[in-house]
Each structure stands twice: as structure tokens, then as C-alpha cells.
Amino acid sequence: MKILRISVLTAVATAGMALVGSAHAGTTFDAVKKKGFVQCGVSTGLPGFSATDDKGAWKGIDVDACRAVAAALFGDANKVKYTPLNAKERFTALQSGEVDMLPRNTTWTYTRDTSLGLNFAGVNYYDGQGFMVTKKLGVKSAKELSGAQVCIQAGTTTELNLADYFRANKMEYKAITYDSSDETVKAFESGRCDMLTSDQSQLYALRIKLADPSSAIVLPEIISKEPLGPVVRQGDDEWFNLVRWSLFAQLNAEEAGITMKNVDEMMKSADPNVRRILGVEGVKGEFLGVDDKWAYNIIKQVGNYGEMFERNVGQGSALKISRGQNALWNKGGIQYAPPIR
């Protein structure tokens, strides 16, 4: 995935310059409102982030980012159309207006944020490169892995991060590179390598592909920062605000204990914080240009952040990823949203 992330920069950055900053102001918000649906650019398939179910409906944490925006804007989370995008074409699709927002497990980096005419509206998943080892090794930390054979999926950043980490810790390793994730898993399974490295969210997906998933564990170390979030075009702050606060509303709801199930009862709550989030009193939706019940609609139809996480990648899914860095700031993680007031 990452080799694509890099190569697209060179391809798109040059060509994209001409378009950057042209007449976008306020246009996306109005255009989306007028056409009545959100055009959402998602990955062509990534476990837990965007994939189709047996009926062909898109599911995943990235998909839910678009559904939340649709719920806030139209009061209906289903008013979304999906464009499956390749890593290479994703930024062009956003720049050229083919899609309105791009929650496509895209890492927020300096270059992307500043040179492509795009804005990152937030972080819906804190990812990072990690390690998976077989239980048999009895290893508890990556620091004990000196001299290990490492399976890597071809991709420059992954390899670079690995090299950096091992050098910084003065350890030896031997890298064995494969093209596809299936090959990598097969090699790991057959014992060609002692450990496998990739983005942590992907490690859990790779683990399921093993004949016996419980034979491998994902180590706690994370050796790179990969904040993933929805991207919008630069120049339409109204639209940017809406995408950003749709995510913040979900985070605030989790913090205040508002869930899909209890949101109707919570409307009658006496807690002023809850009442403000749900638009019962205080700040109104008009600042965002949407209905006062915008946050209510998001929570009712998509759920709060925790519910969204558990359903798509957490305990409610086959991936069983623990919250880790994605827990709320007051629960040991780093997910933090400004207050709604």
C-alpha cells in the first residue's frame, strides 16, 4: 500500500498543481446539498475499512465516515454513493471533483496536506507499523528479535521503517520481500520467516488468513505513525467543517456515553453536555449549515466512535483489533475531540 502512496505523490503533485486552489470556495457543500448525496471515495477493498458484504453493500470504518456526513447533512446515512478508488488515482479523483470526500485509509503527512491542495479533516484511525510473530517463539517484545527473518510486503516505507527500527536498536535482521499479502502470509505460515511486518490494522487481517490464527500474536510495538483520516479538497471550509465535526460528534458522543441504543433517552437527559451535543440546547446546527439534530442523526444511524470501531474492526468484527491508540484520551488512547459548545 505504501509504495503506492509514495509514487502517487510524484505523479499527482506535478499535474495537480495547476488545479490547486482554483474556484472551489463553498462550492462542494452547496453542490453536495443540491445533488442530495455524498460521493464517497473508498478503497477497492481493505478489511475493516472498506469492503463489501455478501449483498454487495459497502461496510467499514472508512465507509462509516461518509455515512456519518450524510446523516448530518441529509438526516439519512444511506444517501452515499461509493467510488472504489485505487491508491494511485485517489487524489486525482478528489481534486477533479469525482468524489466529495476521501476516507480511504490515507496517511496524513506533511507533503500530502500541503502540496496536493487537500485537507485532512481529522483522524478516524491511528495506525502504525507493527510486528506479528508466531507464539512458538515465545517473544514478548520486538526488542528480543535480533537476527530474525522478517517477511515484508514490497513497499518502500515499510522496509525503511523496519531498517530504521532495527538499526536504532542495534539489531540484525534478514528481510524476505513478497509481492502480495497472500504470499506473505503463506511464507509466514510455512516458517520461512520468524515475523511479519505491516501496518497494524493489516496485521490483524493477515492473521485471520492463517490456518490457525491463534498461533500468532501481534506485538505491542508500533514503529511508525500512520494517522488515517478523511480528506477533502482545499477551499471549501464549510464542507471541511462538516466532515471534521461529523467525526468529532462521534467522539464526543462516546465520551458522553451516548450510544445508538440510548440516544433517544439521552435527548431527555439533564446533562448540559449531552444536551448540547444532541442539539437540544445551546449551539445549533446552523453554524454547520445543517439541521439542529445533526449529531443525533449521526449517533442514531452510524453510532458513536466506539460503536463504529468495535463493529468494523474491533470485537464485533472478525478482526478483533483492540482499541489501543484509538481509545479515547481519558481511557488511555489518543482520540481526542474538541468539545461541542
Partner 1 sequence: MSHNFVPLPDQPPPTASVGAIGWLRRNLFSSIGNTLLTLLSIYVLAVSLPPVINWAFIDADWVGVSRDACTSGGACWVFVSARFETFMYGFFPAEETWRINLIYGSLFLCMAPLFFDKFPYKVQLGAFVIFVFPIFGFILMFGGVFGLTPVETSQWGGMTLTLLLASVGCVAALPLGILLALGRQATNMPAVKSMCVLFIEFWRGVPLITVLFMSSVMLPLFLPEGVSFDKLLRALIGITLFQSAYMAEVVRGGLQAIPKGQYEAADALGLSYWKKMGLIVLPQAMKIVIPGIVNTFIALFKDTTLVIIVGLLEILGMVQNALNDPNWLGYSTEGYVFTAFMFWIFCFSMSRYSQALERKLHTGHKR
Contact residues for partner 1, defined by CB under 8 A = 11-12, 15-16, 18-19, 22-23, 44-48, 51-56, 59, 81-86, 88-89, 92-93, 95-98, 182, 205, 208-210, 313, 317-319
**Torsion of Cα atoms, 155 then 161 then 162 then 166, to 10°:** 160
Q: Which helix (H) or strand (E) covers residue 133, if one does? A: strand 129-134
Nearer to partner 1, 242 or 313 (CB): 313
* Side chain identity, residue 317: S
Q: Are the C-beta atoms of 195 and 151 separated by less than 8 Å?
A: yes
Residues 6+ apart with CB under 8 A from 170: none
- Count Cβ atoms below 10 Å from residue 338 Cβ, excluding itself: 10
Nearer to partner 1, 200 or 317 (CB): 317
Nearer to partner 1, 130 or 279 (CB): 130
List the beta bridge partners of residue 232: 119
Cell of 326: 484509538
Nearer to partner 1, 54 or 286 (CB): 54
C-alpha neighbours within 13 Å on the C-beta side of residue 6? 8
Nearer to partner 1, 95 or 161 (CB): 95
Q: Give the Cα separation of 52 and 54 in Å (integer).
A: 7
Q: How far is the CB of 38 from partner 1 (least distance, A)?
A: 14
End-to-end CA distance of the chain: 39
Q: How far is the CB of 196 from partner 1 (least distance, A)?
A: 15
3-state helix, strand, coil in the chain (%, to 5): 45, 20, 40
Q: How far is the CB of 92 from partner 1 (least distance, A)?
A: 5
Q: How far is the CB of 129 from partner 1 (least distance, A)?
A: 20
List the beta bridge partners of residue 38: 80
Q: Are the C-beta atoms of 120 and 108 separated by less than 8 Å?
A: yes
Q: How far is the CB of 94 from partner 1 (least distance, A)?
A: 10
> Of 282, 271, 274, which Cα lies nearest the Cα of 341?
282
Q: Give the Cα separation of 218 and 276 in Å (integer).
A: 40
Q: Give the Cα separation of 151 and 189 in Å (integer).
A: 11
Q: How far is the CB of 277 from partner 1 (least distance, A)?
A: 30
Nearer to partner 1, 72 or 205 (CB): 205
Nearer to partner 1, 317 or 325 (CB): 317
Q: Are the C-beta atoms of 95 and 19 separated by less than 8 Å?
A: yes
Q: How far is the CB of 291 from partner 1 (least distance, A)?
A: 27
* Side chain identity, residue 148: A
Nearer to partner 1, 119 or 184 (CB): 184
Nearer to partner 1, 68 or 94 (CB): 94
Q: How far is the CB of 107 from partner 1 (least distance, A)?
A: 19
Q: How far is the CB of 96 from partner 1 (least distance, A)?
A: 4
Helix (H, G, I), strand (E, B) or coil at 124: coil
